Structure 1
């Protein structure tokens, strides 16, 4: 049930009836007509922009259209009033029975309430984290992991077929640095002084890798030239790092469906095949790029390169795919990787990148646009930085990692549920402060606690009601006399519950899971407000002397819990049964 969609359908039917009668021109495009909560709740329960968006194509005054539409809508039993405001906005008030019906809908099918079919089974690939396999994940990866996992869950909840994918960057120079760093720890395990020179990875996390290498190779690699050991140690160290990364992701509750390897693209013809596809579209050519902006001629050395005509697909400048020495640029395997995803039959691709990849957005979108002939959209979400605080000061870096705070550091300090929720309390392209003192504080200012406390209160009510002998299973509550939910504060909570299906669709269409966290905080606030009013007004308490009134009010609480539980499920957070 989506009450906003139902009322929008009512508005559209009446507009079509007006067109059939000649009051509006035939064939008007109704796509921009919306029904949504008004900015000011005092104006009504819902508002529609129908008259405003149809006035120009209809060649009529918006107020004339609004007044004619209002007269029709007012006759519908679901509405109590339909009032024209300003130049032609239309504010609607619904009967209490409609809001009471929302409570019943949530209880009739708790698992289904709010779920959407807007995805219609479209196959979506969400690639996220994709940290270099050179060490443990840092706090920036933590935010990207939470965002990507919650986005995938949101899209699945909205009817998409979702694949979570991790792209292992195991084909670049950084894995050679990893191998050399691991070799020094191998030397250390054999009793020699490691030479952790500049440019190598200094973290202690490679000590166990060195010990494992000693267990496998003994002293056989000591003193050997790099060419004799680098391939074996590189593969060994990458496997060890990926095992560490999988373990860190599991600590956060993230499980990937696919791990794809960059190295698997080299020497297999896949890069060549992707570029040949672009060449067949006349999108690959030999040329010389203009100097980058801000460079003087003395700084610029023009050179012949193999280029991709990305400007034909929205980019600012064509991009090199092969260097003048014949080696691939970093962009070439990325093109091949995305071509592989297109060939796997996905209907949409989403990449979750760190903020430092902003310059990659246009070129990657251009490549996917070209390779899919515009069929497959690519949305790239950039994850801004996270600043960690504790005791009013920046949180110290991890000695184990050497240079940064790890995902494991954060989760062990705050817990997975808190970490996940807090990482979604800001839009992905906004910087986020993660204050360990605040996120563990039990107050309204801590959104994690506030939402969890609301759910725990609801569970407490259900337990107490059951102990008092009331039937509080969903079937019994669904059959309750919900007309007993009539106070404005109670109906206000029901209105917020009614927004859930609409909010899911908005968040899924925009790929913005943070909207779920924001909504849950507002819903929890309405629940706590009603609870607190019950302290002053006994008639608003969930437990009443009249069992029929109790069941109705408990039904409202349980419906709220249904939505909170569903929302936390999307965020990957476990709903609290009680607060300790």
Structure 2
């Protein structure tokens, strides 16, 4: 990924101070010119008892400095102790440097949240460059199922995260509208067409799609063509029926995605690669051949597990091994048609030709073996100028009170995305699909995601936002001119005496808020939106815990009737919490309610 400029936040500020110290030492001690500081990081320590932040500066710079890491750490620590933001510096272990900040740092961090509002943690649009995120790309052969749902949510949340982090994001869907599966779709739709004309079609033959979702396609074909198609041979009616079926399936898929508040910018047709006047698959193969990356040859028999595309014959091969793959790959089938891989290479070249050097593909669990060859192909067709990151989304086990959910009658053999969204709502689906890392199997229990408890993460996070608004409503008895609108309220609270927030639980909450911009940077760089969901749950948990402490310890309550100054300071803290909760939920595509019903 292209490096993005860091926004001005507390971790970036401290990192800049550490860099300045290291640069000064480099000049004083005669380190080699142009020393690389990019490996120096400032991050939260693993153990909170070790301080507020830690840096690896001495560990990664010791070689260039020609010093022992521990000795270099002491030199860096001496300079950092003179910094007016830092209360104490300790050197630990072989050379880690632990920093404790002065309390004013956390007050200033809260003011930064109030100043930036919902933009806190983000970067200017387009500042980090262009990126293409392709996700869902389900075959247009039926309604989307719950497995597609996870990939759809993950891809959309990743796109939202990257956009917030400053990337110019294009959300793309690749329509697999060429090949055998759409011909099977056409034959299945033709059967429903005959049914719509009054024929008793009996049991759906093996190999065709059995779901009732194709009945409207048959009815539409009957309304449009009458019985004319019946007298045609398959070769004549197949293109017409296929086009109609694909169009109606894509309309249904777009409706399913809309139920999850997902909208793609680009729908790219696989068939367009070969049917729009110029054959871009052939052009891509010719281009690779001109570079010496395509040749005629034989592949050795596969070892161990059989390979689907192996044929013992002389064939046209892509030299994938020259770009990191385990074996060279066929581009043409024995009948002269293109392999799926050949079309995929041309498609990714098209992305690069459209100006995308950063590519992300979101694939299902059964495509893991395809990653190395696709990354090899992208290296080849872009001469190494583009990077492809493939994110695998693992399976979803759909449960109800711990028991597997039965299959859908409408689809024929799976539970549809729409059925799940209609039952529990898009917010629950989106958040819970992200509350586990994408490459781990997910248990999604329809009963548990409707519970109103701490054990239901989406409820707990949204309740945190709603609780903040409830506090604001109650606070107007003490501060009647407290604005209702969030941005105006943040401005109103900006001059609050937040230095009075000194309880460890309050400072812990401010530390969590200060962490958010760094988390956005790290999650965007790793392409891991689940980190945002985890963070929001932790933030909401600390907020709820502080509210609960106020019930037992009245002096910690957010609203103190005879002390407007501390009330305003705590309201500023609450405003910081709701702003970050709203921001993070927006990144994930989840609503931030003002009240829970």
Normalised by the size of structure 2, how large is the TM-score?
0.94
1:571 matched to 2:588: yes
Give the equivalent residue in structure 1 for 2:217. 209
Shift of 1:26: 5.2
Q: CA deviation at 1:119?
A: 6.5
- Structure 1 equivalent of residue 536 of structure 2: 520
Asked if residue 327 in structure 1 is aligned to residue 337 in structure 2, the reply is yes
RMSD: 1.6
Indicate if the aligned counterparts of 2:26 and 2:65 stay in contact, CA closer than 8 A: no
What is the alpha-carbon distance in structure 1 between the residues aligned to residue 498 and residue 337 of structure 2?
A: 71
2:302 maps to 1:285: no
Residue of structure 2 equivalent to 1:558: 575
The Cα shift of 1:191 comes to 1.3
**1:236 paired residue among 237, 244, 252:** 244
Deviation at 1:392, TM superposition (A): 2.5
Correspondence 1:389 to 2:399: yes
Matched, 1:495 2:503: no
Provide, for residues 558-578 of structure 1, a one-character-per-residue CA deviation record: whole Å limited to 9, x for no partner.
Answer: 101111101000100000211
* Counterpart Cα distance in 1 of 2:27 and 2:427: 54
Equivalent residue for 1:375?
385
CA distance in 1, matches of 2:450, 2:303: 47
Q: CA deviation at 1:209?
A: 1.3
Displacement of 1:474: 1.4
Superimposed CA distance per residue, residues 408-437 of structure 1 (whole angstroms, 9 cap, x where no aligned partner): 011011100000000001111110000011
SS in structure 1 of the partner of residue 316 of structure 2: strand
Give 1:6's aligned residue: 13
Match of 1:464 in 2: 474
1:112 matched to 2:123? The reply is no
Residues 465-498 of structure 1, C-alpha deviation per residue, up to 9 Å, x if partnerless?
Answer: 2354142511110111111111111011000000
- Corresponding residue for residue 95 of structure 2: 88
Inter-partner Cα distance in structure 2 for 1:295 and 1:569: 44
Shift in alpha-carbon separation, 1:176–1:235, aligned structure 2, 3 A: same
Q: Which residue of 2 aligns with 1:536?
A: 552
Query: Could you say which residue in structure 2 is the equivalent of 1:302?
Result: 312
CA distance in 2 between partners of 1:400 and 1:506 (Å): 42
1:349 counterpart SS class: strand
Q: Please say if 1:359 is aligned against 2:376.
A: no
Task: State the match for 1:70 in structure 2.
Answer: 77
Q: CA distance change for structure 1 residues 254 and 404 in 2, over 3 Å: closer, same or farther?
A: same
C-alpha contact (below 8 Å) 1:2/1:501 kept by paired residues = yes
Q: Which residue of 1 aligns with 2:564?
A: 547
Cα distance in 2 for residues equivalent to 1:527 and 1:304: 66
Task: Report the secondary structure of 1:222's partner residue.
Answer: helix
Q: Does the 8 A contact of 2:118 with 2:582 survive in 1? A: no
User: Which of 62, 66, 85 is the equivalent residue of 1:55?
Assistant: 62
Aligned residue in 2 for 1:256: 264
Q: Distance in 1 between matches of 2:118 and 2:419?
A: 35
- Runs of 4 or more, structure 1, over 4 Å off, are 23-27
1:428 aligns with 2:438: yes
8 Å CA contact 1:146–1:420 kept in 2: the answer is yes
Cα deviation per residue 1:55-78 (whole Å; 9 max; x = unaligned)? 233221222222222221112121
1:414 paired residue number: 424
Tell me the distance in 2 between the aligned counterparts of 1:258 and 1:17.
49
1:109-156 CA-partner distances (Å, limit 9, x unpaired):
213210035963411111110010110001111000000100111111
Question: Alignment length, in residue pairs?
Answer: 578
Contact 1:411/1:419 (8 A) holds in 2: yes
TM-score, normalised on structure 1?
0.97
Aligned counterpart in structure 2 of residue 141 of structure 1, from 148, 156, 168: 148
Partners of 2:403 and 2:146 lie apart in 1 by 16
Alignment of 1:118-267 (within 5 A): 120-195=127-202, 196-267=204-275
Contact 1:484 1:549 in 2 (8 A): yes
How far apart are residue 294 of structure 1 and its match? 2.2
Query: How far did 1:301 drift?
Result: 6.0
Moved more, 464-473 or 253-262: 464-473
Structure 1 residue runs of 5 or longer lacking an equivalent are none
The answer on whether the counterparts of 2:121 and 2:517 sit within 8 Å (CA) in structure 1 is yes
Q: Per-residue displacement from partner, 1:412-465 (whole Å, max 9, x unpaired)?
A: 111000000000011111100000111111111111111111111111111222
Partner Cα distance (1:221, 1:389) in 2: 44
